[in-house]
Structure 1
Amino acid sequence: MLHYRTYEAGPDAPWVTFVHGAGGSSSIWHKQIREFRKEHNVLLVDLRGHGKSEQGQWQKGDTFLDVSNEVVEVLDELNIESTHIIGMSLGTIIAQTMADHHPERIKSLILGGAIIRLDIRTKVLLWIGRASKRIIPYMTLYKLFAYIIMPKKEHEHSRLVFVNEAKKMCQKEFVKWLSLTRVINPYLSNLQASTTHIPTLFLMGDEDYLFIPPVEEVVRRYDTFEFIPIEKSGHVCNIDQPEQFNEHSINYIAKIEQQYKEKEAI
C-alpha cells in the first residue's frame, strides 16, 4: 500500500486528498497543510516510487488506472467514503482517472498545473525523454524538464523543490512514469468528456505557458468546469503562490460542501 499521512479535524469535517505530480512527494503540500487541517480532514499520499512509498511496484502494462486505484485503496483502508481531490501537475491525471472510474468517491476536483493536453513542444520534449531515457541519467532529463516547464527566476524555488524530491527516485522508476505519457493525448481527451459531471476547478499559474491554453479551451467547452489564474505563478502554483492557491481551493470546497448540504435538505 502507498505511504500516507492524515490530519483529522473531526468526524464532520470534509476529507481532502492531495495527489502530487511525477518526481514530487506529499512534502510538496507543506504550504497547504496548516490552512487545510483547521477545518478539513487531510490525506496526503506518496505515489508509487515516490517519497516513502515502495519502489519497484510496476507490472508490465500498468496504466494511470492502476496508479489511481492505489490511491483508492488508501481511501478504503481509512474508510473514506468520499473526498475532494487536489492534484498537481501529473497528479491531476491521477485525480481525473479516479473521478472517471470511481465518481461516487469524488466530491470535487481541484486541479493545479493541470495537464489536459500536450502541445507540439511538450510532445517533442517527452519524445526526446523517452528516446534517451536509458542513456541519459534521469536527473539530467528531469532538471531539463523542470527548467523548460518552469523557466523564470521566480520559479526557481519550485524547480528546486521538485528536483530535490526527484533525487529520491531511481532511474527505473523515472522510466516507468515517463512511459505512461506515450499515448497521453487521446487518454486525456476521453477523461475531460467523461468527468464533466464532477465539479472541477482549474488553478493555473498565469505564467504556466505550456498548459494554460488547453485548460482555457476546455473550460469554455464545459460549463461544469471553472478556471482561476494564479497571479505571478508558474506551473507549480501551490508553491509559487500558496496564499492564493489555498484561498481559492478552500473557498471552492466550501461552495461544493454547501451544495451537498442543500441537496440533502431537499
Structure 2
Amino acid sequence: MLHYKTYLKSPNHEWIVFVHGAGGSSSIWYKQIREFKREFNILLLDLRGHGRSKSKRLLFRSYSFQNISEDVLEVMDHLDISRAHFVGISLGTILIQTIAEMEPSRVRSMTLGGAVMKLNLRSRLLIRLGNAVKAFVPFMWLYRLFAWVIMPNKHHEHSRSLFIREAKKLCQKEFKRWFTLTMRINPFLKDMREREAPVPTLYIMGKEDYMFLPAIQMMIGRKKYSSLLVLKNCGHVCNVDQPDRFNSEVLDFIRKHCSVTVSVS
C-alpha cells in the first residue's frame, strides 16, 4: 500500500485527498495542511516510487494511470473513506480525473491545480528528447531541464527547487517507469478532454503556466461541471507560488460542495 498520513478533524467531517504530481511527494502540500486541517479530515499520499512509497510490491505492479489511481482508492478503502474531495497538482490531476471516471460516487469535488490536459509542441519535443537519451543521461539532468522549461521565471525558483529536491529521492529505474507513462499520455488526454465526469470541478492555473494553461482555456467553455480560475504572477505549481490565494479559493470551492456545514475551531 502507498505510504500515507492523515489529519483527523473528526469522524463527522469530510475528507480531502491531496494528490501530488510526478517527481514530487506529499511534502509539496506543506503550505496547505495548516489551513485545510482546521475544517476537514486530510489524507496525504506518496504515489508509488515517490516519497516513502517504495515497497517492492508496489513497484512490480504494472504502470498505467488506471492502476496508479487504484493505488489511491486502495488507501481510501483501507481507511474506510467512502467519498472525498480531491485536490491535485500537475500529473496528479490526471489521476484524480481517472478516479472520477472509474468511480464517480467516490468524488465529491475536484480541484485541479496546474492541470495537464494537453501536451503542446514544446512538451512533446521534450518528452521525445528525454526518451532518446534516458538510457545514458542521468535522470536528474532531464528532470532539471523539464523543471526549468515548465517553471522558467525567477519567482518560480522556490517551486523548481522543491520539485528537484523531491525528484532526487527517485531512483533511475523508477523515473524511467514514470517517463514511459508520459509517452502514452497524449492519446489518454485526448479521450479525457472529450468526456466529463458529473463532478464539480475547479481548474486553478497560474497565468504564467505557459505550457498547460492554453489548453485549459480552449476547452473550459465546453465543460458543464467545470470552472477556471487563473492566478496572476503564478506559474505551474500554483499551490506553492500563490499559497494564500490558492488556499482561500479552494476552501471556498470545497465548502460549496460539502454535504454538511463546515465547522471551524
Shift of residue 43, structure 1, vs aligned partner: 0.2
User: For residues 55 and 22 of structure 1, do their structure 2 counterparts lie closer, same or farther at Cα, with a shift above 3 Å needed?
Assistant: farther
1:18 aligns with 2:5: no
Shift of residue 193, structure 1, vs aligned partner: 3.3
Provide, for residues 19-51 of structure 1, a one-character-per-residue CA deviation record: whole Å limited to 9, x for no partner.
Answer: 000110000000000000000000000000000
Aligned length: 260
Across the aligned residues of Structure 1 and Structure 2, the Cα RMSD in angstroms comes to 1.4
Shift of residue 218, structure 1, vs aligned partner: 1.5
TM-score normalized with structure 2 length: 0.95
1:95 aligns with 2:65: no
SS state at 1:197 partner: coil
Which 5+ residue runs of structure 1 have no aligned equivalent?
none
Shift of residue 62, structure 1, vs aligned partner: 2.4
TM-score normalized with structure 1 length: 0.94
Letter in 2 for 1:234: G
Distance in 2, matches of 1:58 and 1:5, equals 20
**2:131 aligns to what?**
130
SS state at 1:115 partner: coil
Quick check: 2:49–2:59 contact (8 Å CA) kept in 1? no
Quick check: 1:196–1:222 contact (8 Å CA) kept in 2? no
1:31 aligns with 2:46: no
Provide, for residues 69-100 of structure 1, a one-character-per-residue CA deviation record: whole Å limited to 9, x for no partner.
Answer: 00000000000000011010011111111111
Distance in 2, matches of 1:225 and 1:191, equals 14
Shift of residue 14, structure 1, vs aligned partner: 1.2
Shift of residue 58, structure 1, vs aligned partner: 3.8
**2:250 aligns to what?**
249
Quick check: 1:108–1:200 contact (8 Å CA) kept in 2? yes
Comparing 177-186 and 200-209, the one that deviates more: 177-186
**1:44 aligns to what?**
44
**1:143 aligns to what?**
144
After TM superposition, where is structure 1 displaced by more than 4 Å over at least 4 residues in a row? Answer: none
Letter in 2 for 1:47: L
Provide, for residues 107-126 of structure 1, a one-character-per-residue CA deviation record: whole Å limited to 9, x for no partner.
Answer: 11100000001011111111
Which 5+ residue runs of structure 2 have no aligned equivalent?
none
Question: Superposition pairs for residues 30-179 of structure 1, below 5 Å?
Answer: 30-54=30-54, 56=56, 57-59=58-60, 61-179=62-180
SS state at 1:11 partner: coil
Distance in 2, matches of 1:223 and 1:100, equals 15
Shift of residue 61, structure 1, vs aligned partner: 4.9
SS state at 1:12 partner: coil
Quick check: 2:140–2:168 contact (8 Å CA) kept in 1? yes
Shift of residue 60, structure 1, vs aligned partner: 7.3
Distance in 2, matches of 1:261 and 1:46, equals 29
Shift of residue 184, structure 1, vs aligned partner: 1.1
Distance in 2, matches of 1:241 and 1:24, equals 18
SS state at 1:189 partner: helix
Distance in 2, matches of 1:74 and 1:195, equals 25
Distance in 1, matches of 2:164 and 2:55, equals 18
Letter in 2 for 1:54: K
Shift of residue 192, structure 1, vs aligned partner: 3.3
Letter in 1 for 2:187: P
Distance in 2, matches of 1:143 and 1:239, equals 18
